[in-house]
Amino acid sequence: MDTAIKITAENKCGLCTNSKCCTYITQQIDTPRSKAEFDFLLWQIAHRGVKIYQDSDGWFLLFETVCTHLEPDGYCGIYETRPQICRDYSNDYCEFDAPAEDGFKLYFNDYESLLDYCKRRFKRWGS
C-alpha cells in the first residue's frame, strides 16, 4: 500500500518544516559596476544576516530576518490579514522544492566571498 503524501501547492506550506520563505527579505538593487559601488556592497555584507546575489532578474540584497508573525509551528499568525506581497507569493516552485541558491548566477554569503570576487573583477582592487 502506497502511503506517500502527494505534495501540491495547497498542502506544501503545511509540510514545510522550516518556513524558509518567511525567514528573509530581499531588495533589488542597481547592478553594481564601479569599484565604489562594490566597496559599498562590502560595507553592507559586513553586517550579520546580509547576503548578496544575482539571478536572472538582477542583483539583490538578502536580509536574513524572521517575520515577526511566524508562529513556532511555522504558520502565519496574521494569515487572514497578511500583506498583499504574502498573498501574491506563489509556492508552485519554492525552497521546499529546491534551495533558492540553485538559481543564483552569483552568490556572496559573506564579506570574504565578495572581496575575492572584487579582487578578480578589478585587477587593481587594492591600489
Q: What digits encode the pLDDT tens for the residues 3-32?
A: 677 777 777 777 777 778 899 999 999 999
User: Cα separations (Å) of 111 from 31, 60, 64, 68, 101?
Assistant: 18, 15, 15, 27, 17
Mean pLDDT for 118-123 is 96
Taking the model in full, what pTM does it have? 0.85
Does the pLDDT at position 122 exceed 70?
yes
Q: What digits encode the pLDDT tens for the residues 50-92?
A: 999 999 999 999 999 999 999 888 888 998 999 999 999 888 8
